[in-house]
């Protein structure tokens, strides 16, 4: 049975030390298959301009990275095996995928999509396994997939969108906002976030100021008996993983990969990155390890 949630993300978010005069504007919507929301601390006219910009940005993100939109750039690439003249944001996201792929020694791999689809539909998994390999994707004036390949950015696109929207809000002049586009990012702060797990509920709280946090829970969605976070010959190591970094995209990608990695592998991956990374690992028995 496939559960309705792709992930169980942090479910409690509240501003700390908010001035009484700074009543926030809150907005909720849906993008990339997930519930999204904003908490904006700004005069109403500025908040309205910000929301209009956010809606425009979300339409752009869907048009580039959605697996569900038959006209998206990603759908075109998966269908045709080639994407001529990719949008700069598409190329930028792929460079971030390179970074996460290298840091995790290949555990973060967007070319996992054929295996995910085979498990979701009951198809043959061996051909799908044979198509996996991010290093086989060719870049240049066009993006070209190897035979049988397809990509998914579900492990990074929400964080990427979160970063873009945070930057958009800053350019508009907002000094304080909490952005939840599947992953959380703070503009200013502080904000208090609850880290949630499908089995254990809220297992920790974090204080966020000008940073980002992403939480991945393998059991938040199941493909039959298989957790939705996949890599050949690896099983989920943790019930939930939360990663804090300055970049929501990187936090998103790392939380996805770290769910399949041992504590020592996570330490090594963190050491390969220039960014500061804090990981909170929840074991199936409820034990918590912070790295």
pLDDT of 152 above 90: yes
* Residue of 157, 149, 184, 147 whose CA lies nearest to 38: 184
Q: What is the DSSP string of 53-74?
A: HHHHHHHHHHHHH-SS-TTSHH
**Sorting pLDDT into bands at 50, 70 and 90, what band is 15?**
very low
User: Tokens representing 205?
Assistant: 């709280």
* Residue of 10, 51, 60, 11 whose CA lies nearest to 31: 60
Residue 181 · residue 167 · CB < 8 Å: no
Domain 1-291: CATH architecture, name and number where available? Roll (3.10)
Beta bridge partners of 241: 216, 281
**Sorting pLDDT into bands at 50, 70 and 90, what band is 4?**
very low
Phi/psi of residue 193, nearest 5 degrees: -120, 140
User: pLDDT by residue (tens digit) across 49-59?
Assistant: 999 999 999 99
Q: What pLDDT is recorded for position 8?
A: 39
User: pLDDT by residue (tens digit) across 211-227?
Assistant: 999 998 876 554 445 45
Task: Give CA–CA dist 19/192, Å, rounded.
Answer: 15
User: pLDDT by residue (tens digit) across 68-91?
Assistant: 899 999 999 999 999 999 999 999
> How many C-alpha atoms does 6 have within 13 Å on its Cβ side?
14
User: Tokens representing 147?
Assistant: 């035979």
Q: What pLDDT is recorded for position 240?
A: 93
Which residue shows structure tokens 């990427």? 160
Task: Give CA–CA dist 44/23, Å, rounded.
Answer: 10
Q: Which of 101-115, 135-149, 179-193, 213-227 has the lowest mean pLDDT?
A: 213-227
Mean pLDDT computed over every residue of the chain: 87
* Residue of 11, 3, 2 whose CA lies nearest to 242: 11
Which residue shows structure tokens 């240049």? 140
Residue 258 · residue 268 · CB < 8 Å: no
Q: What is the DSSP string of 240-284?
A: EEEEEES-HHHHHHHHHHHTTS-HHHHHHHHHT-SS--EEEEE-T
Phi/psi of residue 91, nearest 5 degrees: -65, -35
Beta bridge partners of 279: 243
4, with CB counted inside 10 A (0-12, 13-18, 19+), is exposed
User: Tokens representing 42?
Assistant: 């700004």
Residue 10 · residue 192 · CB < 8 Å: no
pTM: 0.89
């Amino acid at each position: 049975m496939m559960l309705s949630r792709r992930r169980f993300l942090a479910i409690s978010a509240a501003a700390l030390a908010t001035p009484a005069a700074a009543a926030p504007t809150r907005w909720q919507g849906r993008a990339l298959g997930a519930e999204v929301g904003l908490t904006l601390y700004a005069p109403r006219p500025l908040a309205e301009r910000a929301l209009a910009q956010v809606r425009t940005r979300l339409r752009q993100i869907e048009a580039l990275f959605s697996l569900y939109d038959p006209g998206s750039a990603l759908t075109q690439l998966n269908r045709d095996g080639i994407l001529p003249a990719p949008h700069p944001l598409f190329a930028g996201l792929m460079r971030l995928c390179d970074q996460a792929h290298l840091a995790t020694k290949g555990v973060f791999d967007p070319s996992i999509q054929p295996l995910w689809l085979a498990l979701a539909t009951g198809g043959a998994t061996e051909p799908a396994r044979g198509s996996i390999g991010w290093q086989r994707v060719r870049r240049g004036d066009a993006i070209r997939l190897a035979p049988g390949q397809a990509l998914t950015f579900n492990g990074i696109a929400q964080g990427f969108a979160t970063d873009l929207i945070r930057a958009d809000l800053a350019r508009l002049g907002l000094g304080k906002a909490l952005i939840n586009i599947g992953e959380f990012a703070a503009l200013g702060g502080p904000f208090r976030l609850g880290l949630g797990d499908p089995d254990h509920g809220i297992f920790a709280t974090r204080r966020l100021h000008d940073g980002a946090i992403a939480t991945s829970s393998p059991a938040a969605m199941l493909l039959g008996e298989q957790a939705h976070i996949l890599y050949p010959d690896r099983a989920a190591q943790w019930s939930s993983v939360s990663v804090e970094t300055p970049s929501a995209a990187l936090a998103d990608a790392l939380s996805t990969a770290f769910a399949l990695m041992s504590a020592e592998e996570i330490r090594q991956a963190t050491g390969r990155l220039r960014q500061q990374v804090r990981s909170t690992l929840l074991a199936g028995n409820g034990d918590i390890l912070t790295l």
